[in-house]
Amino acid sequence: MKLRLEDKIALITGASRGQGEAEARLFASEGAKVLICDILDDKGQDLAEDIRSDGHIAEYFHLDVSNEEDWQNAINYISKKFGGLNVLVNNAGIGLRKPSILDISAEEWQKVLDINLTGTFFGIKTAAPVMKDSGSGSIINIGSIAGTTGHFATAYTATKWGIRGLTKSAALEFASWNIRVNAVHPGIVDTAILEGSDDFKEAMSWMTPLGRVAGPEEISPVVMFLASDEASFVTGIDMIVDGGFTGTGAFRQVFLRAMAQPGSKL
């Protein structure tokens, strides 16, 4: 039986751990040649070796997504190493959960934009011409439900809303090159970005109809679907993967509160 990403060449950013690691492992197991890109060199090298020890194909390459020259070096490397590029997952990102705009410095604001949004822009810009030469491509930008709702993490939220617009503009522009561009917007996912945020995780679990935090392995299959030929007619979409948070979370709490007392009047 043919693997779902057989013969695909994929570059994944922020792939040394967390959600990016789950994507890299899954992509490789489904037949893709994977370039793991990150600034966490030791973790990235170890992951590539681990994937190869399982009989799959993976390499590691240092990439600071906020640096356009780093991007060009990574694209040149994957083109020479594997002969092209079919899939780009713009997964790298950082959070900044400060409760007030007044508490965010200009330096903090710029750093979040440089990594989360400008890094995604650089990825699309450098990858698209190589994908065109490869015959087709799929770009998946990892956003967040913070980009679909109001959210208190202002800088982070601004970048995730920006990713939605960037995704749609790129999908429009590169359709003629047979390149699809989509965005995946996870809800609460248990990764390093949430370390030390127990109260936030508890509150998000309470608001999420499925009542829990997702694992990275629950997001990666959605990303893989968009990378695969199964999604060959899918472009320009926002795929929300959030346990029902944005779609039904608020009314779920209204319902539970309204039904909390005997004889409640709905």
Looking at the annotation, which residues are catalytic? 156
Q: Which amino acid is at 42?
A: D
Residue with tokens 């799929």: 138
Please give the Cα distance from 139 to 11 (Å, whole number). Answer: 10
Residues 6+ apart with CB under 8 A from 42: none
Strand-pair category, 87-90 with 57-62: unpaired
Residue 63: closest CA among 89, 36, 43: 36
- Helices 41-53 & 18-29 angle (0-180, nearest 10): 20
CA-CA-CA-CA torsion sign (208, 181, 81, 38): negative
Q: In whole angstroms, give the CA distance from residue 20 to residue 133.
A: 26
Q: Of the candidates 150, 245, 171, which has an alpha carbon nearest to the alpha carbon of residue 204?
A: 245
Nearest to 142 by CA among 211, 189, 74, 96: 189
